[in-house]
Amino acid sequence: MSQLTGVNTSDMHEHEYPLSFLEPNGKIASIISSNGHMRELDVNARTWTSLPTTTALNGSAVMYLPGKILTTGGGDIDVAGPAITTSQVIDLNAPTPAWRTVAPMANRRYSHNLLVLADGSVLAIGGHDTADQTGHTGPRTVERWDPTTETWSSMTPMRDLRGYHSTTLLLPDGRVLTAGGGRFSTALDFKTAQIWSPPYLFKGARRPSRRRRHGGARLVDRGSLARGGLHRQGVVHALASNTHTSTWTSAMFR
């Protein structure tokens, strides 16, 4: 490991975790949760530059397509005020990237999880209805975001609150595991887990995509890759990991 000299990332240091994403061009985009500032790291050029600022502070974020980020919810954690329903997107592939407000969530959420599902839609699950990591209340209704219409629809509610330190993962069979929550000061602890089946699992039998002369590989995290061939389509399905409202590696890129 070598040191990356000439780059000062001190403006990224804060008590909350920055939300970082690998762009298609190899650069790394990071959102500073507490003030909404966004920075871009170019390792090859050794530069640390500014990107547009989001007004959705202390929210959750996910890259739902290569270079396209959705951020939702959050709130003022300094006063533990009401969580917000704001949803914003940015396309880092655009010549001049800019945050754009889209339809809000139906429920106020802070410290919730966003998860890219196997069909490319995004799941918003859990969170508190106040910007408080020790909150005792929050929405149990799951919401699904359609990246084509950029709108939300409400799904089946959960049994337990999934707040701070909860986790949500996409399973290899397309279902969703959500678990935990709590483990901080006076917050309620939920040592439980539930599995949710998305709507695409109830559309009847589906034939696998046909491929000829294609390649495949088993990824190091036990995900899978099907690549190329005459089908001209590649799919990456990596198993997810999750921490503090950021879901890593869980995506299907076509």
The pLDDT, as a whole number, for residue 211 is 45
Catalytic residue status for 164: yes
* pLDDT at 166 (0 to 100): 84
Q: What is the pLDDT of residue 132?
A: 84
In b/e form, how buried is each residue of 142-174, taking b as 16+ CB within 10 angstroms? bbbbebeeeebeebeebebbbbbbbbbbbeeee
So what's the pLDDT on residue 186? 75
Tell me what pLDDT residue 247 has. Answer: 58
Catalytic residue among 17, 64, 164, 200: 164
Interval 83-109: pLDDT, tens? 999 999 999 999 999 999 999 999 999
Task: Give the model's pLDDT for residue 89.
Answer: 98
CB–CB of 75/84 below 8 Å? yes
Q: What is the pLDDT of residue 116?
A: 92
Listed as ranges, residues in the chain with pLDDT below 70 are 1, 14-16, 187, 205-254
Counting every residue written for the chain, the total comes to: 254
pLDDT on residue 224: 46
Phi, psi of 228 (to 5 degrees): 60, -140
Instruction: Assign domain 13-201+209-253 to a CATH class.
Output: mainly beta
Model pLDDT, residue 228: 42
Which of 145, 142, 146 is closest to 127 using CA atoms?
Answer: 142
- For the chain, domain boundaries: 13-201+209-253
The whole-number pLDDT of residue 37 equals: 92
| Residue that the structure tokens 């407000």 belong to | 101
